[in-house]
Amino acid sequence: MSWEKSIEELRRRERLAEEMGGEEPVSRQRGRGKLTVRERVAFLADPGSFHEIGKIAGKATYGADEELDGFMPSNSVMGRARLDGHPAVILADDFTVRGGAADAAIWQKMAQAIKMAAEYRMPLVQMIDGTGGGGSVKMLEKDPRTYIPETPGWSEIVHGLTQVPFVSLALGPCAGMGAGRVAASHFSIMVKELSQVFVAGPPVAIALGENVTKEELGGWKIQGQNGTVDNVVDSEADAFIAARRFLSYLPPSVHHLPGRIQPADDPKRKEESLLSIVPKDGRTPYKPRRIVEAVVDKGSFFEIGHDWGRGIVTGLARIDGHAVGIMAGDPFFLDGAWTADVCDKVTRHMDLCSTFHLPVIHFVDCPGFAVGVKAETAGVTRAGVRAMTAVYQASVPVCSVIIRKAYGLAGSAMMNQSKTKWRYCWPSGDWGSLPMAGGIEAAFRKELTEAEDPAALKEQLYKKFEAIRSPFRTAESFFAEEIIDPRETRPLLVDFVQHAQRIVEPGERQTGFRP
């Protein structure tokens, strides 16, 4: 006696699952310029490495003879795979089955994927392409009742985020639960013109009086610039590449340390361009990414959040083969002042680096928190205090390189200054409780008003205080620990990162209250 007939039935059901939503929905999916869920998995995973779990889960109908009459697979494809040789869990939506609606996904598959990733210490990559929730209101006709909202699997998401890297790729319209899953990640990606992310779609917005398209409501120009998603790319292929690259810097879980790759760059390399990259007038902006790229291992800088919080550049890189987090003030945007969204970006990046044990290199150029009605309306004070707290709560070593400005509360948040100040200052450093410009006029208003030659007195005062603000005077009192030749930055950062490896430790992060 053999089980051959059962195996034949298993293979038949597997073939039905591979048909996804059927010929017409699959054709529509491709007609929109989108890959199918199974094509996406094949492109993302290392060839032949995907092991699917729950392939034949779905909705079946049976005839009078109790034989299978019809089958619609779950619109959630999940399983284990390898990405660049490293184990990972993949969870992918199938839009061809009821538009990726969450109630057709069989929520236990999502929960199982997240549990497996967290328990077996593997990253989770989600490819999200779904309308979320229970789909159309028409579904109420089939089950004529409403329900008190509940989100099965959300507790697994919350716990999983503390354990392993979550990467979310928005690859179509993502609404409701789909939008929530995009945001509930350590790194999220949208594809231009292909994906949208919103709490509810245009029909709901139209009912509320806003006549908008999907792109106008939640397209990349909105969500990429407000920080809902981290990066925006041009194609699905670019999204797969970005996901793999992001994961290449991180450990598989918080219970591991990031791996080191064999460096191909000279640890003692000195870039001559750094000597003149910062203009001497103290006002003209420069490109901070050029500084970052000059000192990290060549070609290793991976920027995160390019389109939002633009007063600061954040990302990941390698120094002597070791993975590090990067922050760099960008004077092209409000002179690098910390606006509310810059503060949110700092908070998020410091949390990412602390969670996954990445030492941080902070290239400081910050004139303080943004000032004015617009900044206050956006909540810069609360956001700023949260960012400062995130920096002080960081569990990883931070090395600050003061490039130019460091003023006020925001300027002080370059590192946790109650700890060892592993800090280097360029000769272009300019710091204090408030900038000299404007401060001299305010402090000497009476004298300037009463002077016979106010212009001459003002010039004299500026000359005097210009000498006082020399970084060498700060160093005389050991308030600036080391002033360095900018060309020495890379070798000194290599030294820092090597020492940082002595104190970074694996494990879950414990974070206190954040205001």
User: How would DSSP label each residue in 76-126?
Assistant: EEEEEEEETTEEEEEEEE-TTTGGG-GGGS-HHHHHHHHHHHHHTT--EEE
Axis crossing angle, helix 340-355 with helix 380-393, rounded to the nearest 10: 20
- CATH match of 272-433+470-500 with 3.90.226.10: yes
Q: What is the largest CA-CA distance in the chain?
A: 114
In CATH, what number does 35-53+74-249 get?
3.90.226.10
Q: Tell me, what's the pLDDT at 437?
A: 64
Model confidence band, residue 139 (pLDDT cutoffs 50, 70, 90): low
Identity of residue 3: W
| Alpha-helix residue ranges (DSSP H) falling in 125-213 | 139-142, 154-160, 177-183, 202-207
Q: Tell me, what's the pLDDT at 218?
A: 94
In the sheet that holds 231-233, the strands lie side by side as: 51-53, 76-83, 86-93, 124-128, 166-170, 187-191, 231-233
**pLDDT (tens digit per residue) in 7-29:** 999 999 999 999 999 999 999 99
The answer, yes or no, to whether residue 137 has pLDDT greater than 80, is no
The candidate with the shortest Cα–Cα distance to 124, out of 140, 109, 135, 139, is: 109
- As a whole number, the mean pLDDT across the chain is 93
Domain-wise residue ranges, the chain: 35-53+74-249, 272-433+470-500
**pLDDT (tens digit per residue) in 144-173:** 777 788 888 899 999 999 999 999 999 999
Identity of residue 360: V
Integer Cα distance of 78 and 93 in angstroms: 9
**pLDDT (tens digit per residue) in 252-295:** 999 999 999 999 999 999 999 999 999 998 889 999 999 999 99
The answer, yes or no, to whether residue 249 has pLDDT greater than 70, is yes
| Residues 94, 77 contacting (CB under 8 angstroms) | yes
> 280-308: string of b/e by CB count within 10 Å (b at 16+)?
eeeeeebebbebbbbbbbeebbbbbbbbb
What average pLDDT does this structure show over 77-98?
96
The answer, yes or no, to whether residue 103 has pLDDT greater than 80, is no
Same fold? 35-53+74-249, 272-433+470-500: yes
The answer, yes or no, to whether residue 428 has pLDDT greater than 90, is yes
Helix (H, G, I), strand (E, B) or coil at 200: coil
**pLDDT (tens digit per residue) in 304-318:** 999 999 999 999 999
The answer, yes or no, to whether residue 77 has pLDDT greater than 70, is yes
The answer, yes or no, to whether residue 136 has pLDDT greater than 60, is no
The answer, yes or no, to whether residue 130 has pLDDT greater than 80, is yes
**pLDDT (tens digit per residue) in 360-375:** 999 999 999 999 999 9
